[in-house]
Amino acid sequence: MNTKTLKKSYILIFFSLMMSITVFAQGSKEQRVSPATVAKGTINGAAVTINYGSPAVKGRTIWGGLVPYHKTWRAGANEATTFESDKPLKIQGKTLPAGKYSLYVVPGEKEWKIIFNSETGQWGIKRTGETTDDAAKDVLTVIAKPAKSAKMNERLIYSIAKNGFAISWENVTTPVIFK
């Protein structure tokens, strides 16, 4: 084997090794610090699925701290949270067509903006730390009122009820009611 071929082989092996390290460094969704979680249920006769990464409080201040007020948040960890419904739903007099959406939230102390966005499959934040929400692809935006939760929730939890869903984390629960 000549020297030129040997160098090319070493370079190829090096890059292959680097790629495999990168792939394995991502880890499986089950092994993430904020594990992938699914909430399923029925809202007004529609089958609904919410896929999200469930981060933990870990002694941190969440609302107004880790998740700043008045700034768009990916509504979970890792990939952008998704909301999927097999039928159209009515919320605050507006219709959310059946389909799959990324779910974003703009939390505030007195009210939250809940955003259903048509782009799905993206990571939840950019390298700059901003969310991947493209406002031009927002399908529906509604307002929800946060309240003190009955108990402290160490992990982010989405719960689905017959009339909507709730986002609960730390000491706050925010119900999103459908009519």
Mean pLDDT over all residues of the chain?
A: 88
Of 69 and 127, the structure prediction assigns the larger pLDDT to: 69
**E strands, the chain, where?**
36-43, 46-53, 77-85, 89-91, 94-96, 99-106, 112-117, 138-144, 147-161, 164-177
Look at residue 23 in the predicted model and tell me its pLDDT: 45
With a cut of 70, say whether residue 7 has pLDDT above it. Answer: no
Q: Please, which pLDDT band fits residue 121 given cuts at 50, 70 and 90? A: confident
Beta-carbon contacts of residue 124 (< 8 Å; ≥ 6 apart): 53, 74, 76, 77, 78, 79, 80, 81, 131, 132
Task: Give every CB contact of residue 43 below 8 A, 6+ residues apart in sequence.
Answer: 85, 89, 160, 161, 162, 163, 164, 165, 178
Amino acid in position 161 = A
Average pLDDT of span 58-66: 96
Note the pTM of the prediction, 2 decimals. 0.81
Average pLDDT for residues 104-112, to the nearest whole number?
97
Indicate the range of 51-60, 72-81, 122-131, 168-177 predicted with least confidence: 122-131
